[in-house]
């Protein structure tokens, strides 16, 4: 299928209480694992890209990989830009064929975050792509920014309402609800009452950041409360490295590179499939596309 924008499919996912997995791609093999894993389970999927990864590969190769692989499968695939505070990169993604982008102004004071997010919103709306925007500080490392877990700031409810009212066509909203990027040092403390209050007041699907390391029960509770986009980055990176190195341990004398790449692919794809099953999006490709 041609690439799709994520807003409509996230709205359908939210109303039917399943989550759509959003994996941070690394290279061609990783995109292959994400899209094939979703296709095998007939699930909608989001391939998202960090600005660091765009700086490494460039806009066009990434867009070409994702578009060409998406065209070989029958499930909806969205190409999304993860955490970005640079409007020029956002414009570059849109020009290269991304179908949604995230503007992250969460480190700014509320008024400034809203003003800059609104600028990104206007750019995205006029290009017909979806926008994700964030309030509060999600803990851990996101690209160059580090937020200590204990210092992570929960989103303020009144600000969430005001923020979303200013951008009613937001594809997905990311309020900080206590999750963090990276592996959790302790038990993640998710602010479920805040999440429920937000979804009760705001008619926009919610993004759950910092998915790596949450329990099945935590995923289910967040998805039941309105989290329709579930981000997985750290575990995917881990599988990328361990899948490759694990083949060296199994076959110490292997001298052909392709089996390493295949082992890496299988390791990443297994995690993609596990997450899709946990998020309840298996068999939901037609539903997410609005054909069911
Ligand atoms: Zn994030």
Task: Grade residue 174 by pLDDT with cuts at 50, 70 and 90.
Answer: very high
* pLDDT per position as a tens digit, 196-208: 999 999 999 999 9
Mean pLDDT in the chain?
94
The set of residues, in sequence order, having a beta carbon less than 8 Å from that of 48 and lying 6+ positions away, is 22, 23, 24, 25, 79, 80, 81, 82, 102, 231
CA proximity to 247, closest of 233, 238, 258? 258
Rounded to the nearest whole angstrom, what is the distance from the C-alpha of residue 148 to the centroid of ligand 1? 14
Cα(16) to ligand 1 centroid in Å equals 23
Bridge partners of residue 131, in order along the sequence: 101
pTM: 0.95
CA of 142 to the centre of ligand 1 (A): 6
The Cβ of residue 210 has, within 10 Å, a number of other Cβ atoms equal to: 28
Rounded alpha-carbon distances, angstroms, from residue 11 to 116, 150, 158, 247, 287: 24, 32, 22, 40, 11
pLDDT digits (tens, 9 = 90+) for 59-117: 999 999 999 999 999 999 999 999 999 999 999 999 999 999 999 999 999 999 999 99
Ligand 1 midpoint to CA 292 (Å): 30
Burial class for 63, CB neighbours closer than 10 Å (0-12, 13-18, 19+): buried
What spacing in Å lies between the alpha carbon of 82 and ligand 1's midpoint? 7
Give me the percent of the chain exceeding a pLDDT of 70: 95
Answer whether residue 29 shows pLDDT above 90.
yes
**What letters, b where the CB count within 10 A reaches 16 and e where it falls short, cover 102-140?**
bbbbbeeebeebbebbbebbebbeebebbbbbbbbbbbb
Ligand 1 center to residue 260 CA distance, Å? Answer: 29
Residue 212 confidence class, pLDDT cut points 50, 70, 90: confident
β partners of residue 49: 81
Q: How far is the CA of 282 from the centre of ligand 1 (A)?
A: 23
Q: What is the pLDDT of residues 124-138, one digit of tens each?
A: 999 999 999 999 877
Å from CA of 252 to ligand 1 middle: 37
Asked if the model's pLDDT at residue 166 lies above 60, the reply is yes
- How many angstroms does the Cα of residue 251 sit away from the middle of ligand 1? 36
Cα dihedral value 31, 37, 40, 43, nearest 10: -90
pLDDT of residue 142: 59
**271 carries an active-site annotation:** no
pLDDT of 145 reads 52
How is residue 195 written in tokens?
């999440």
- Binning pLDDT at 50, 70 and 90, where does residue 2 land? very high
State the average pLDDT over residues 45-52: 98
- Residues 167/129, Cβ–Cβ less than 8 Å: no
- The answer to whether residue 187 scores a pLDDT higher than 90 is no
Residue 185 is predicted with a pLDDT of: 76
Residue 149 has pLDDT above 80, yes or no: no
pLDDT at 162: 97
Distance from C-alpha of 228 to C-alpha of 206, rounded to nearest angstrom: 6
> Is the pLDDT assigned to residue 292 strictly greater than 90?
no
Q: Who contacts 215 (Cβ-Cβ below 8 Å, separation ≥6)?
A: none
As a whole-number percent, the residues of the chain with pLDDT over 90 amount to 87
- Say what the pLDDT of residue 213 is: 87
Is residue 152 pLDDT above 80, yes or no? no
- The catalytic position among 27, 42, 82, 158 is 82
pLDDT for 141 equals 59
Average pLDDT over residues 233-258: 95
Which positions ≥6 away from 226 have C-beta within 8 Å? 14, 195, 196, 198, 199, 205, 206
Length of the chain: 292
Overall average pLDDT of the 280-290 stretch:
97
Instruction: Give the distance (Å) from ligand 1 centre to CA of residue 181.
Output: 6
pLDDT top residue among 292 and 109: 109
The pLDDT, as a whole number, for residue 188 is: 83
């Amino acid at each position: 299928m041609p690439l799709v924008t994520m807003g409509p499919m996230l709205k359908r996912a939210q109303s039917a209480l399943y989550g759509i997995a959003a994996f941070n791609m690394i290279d061609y093999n990783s995109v292959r694992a994400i899209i094939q894993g979703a296709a095998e389970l007939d699930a909608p999927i989001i391939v998202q890209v960090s600005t660091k990864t765009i700086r490494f590969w460039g806009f066009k190769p990434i867009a070409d990989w994702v578009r060409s692989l998406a065209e070989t499968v029958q499930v909806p695939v969205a190409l999304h830009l993860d955490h970005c505070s640079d409007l020029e990169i956002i414009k570059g993604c849109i020009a290269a064929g991304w179908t949604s982008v995230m503007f992250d102004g969460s480190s700014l004071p509320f008024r400034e975050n809203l003003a800059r997010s609104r600028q990104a919103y206007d750019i995205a709306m006029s290009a017909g792509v979806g926008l994700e925007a964030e309030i509060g500080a999600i803990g851990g490392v996101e690209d160059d920014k580090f937020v200590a877990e204990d210092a992570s700031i929960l989103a303020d409810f009144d600000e969430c309402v005001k923020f979303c009212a200013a951008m009613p066509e937001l594809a997905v909203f990311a309020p900080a609800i206590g999750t963090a990027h990276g592996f959790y040092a302790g038990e993640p403390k998710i602010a479920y009452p805040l999440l429920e209050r937000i979804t009760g007041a705001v008619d926009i699907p919610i993004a759950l950041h910092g998915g790596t390391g949450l329990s099945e029960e935590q995923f289910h509770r967040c998805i039941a409360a309105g989290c329709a986009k579930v981000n997985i980055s750290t575990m995917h990176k881990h599988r990328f490295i361990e899948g490759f190195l694990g083949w060296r341990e199994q076959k110490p004398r292997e001298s052909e590179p392709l089996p390493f790449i295949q082992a890496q692919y299988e390791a990443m794809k297994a995690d993609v499939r596990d997450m899709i099953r946990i998020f309840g999006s298996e068999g939901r490709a037609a539903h997410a596309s609005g054909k069911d």
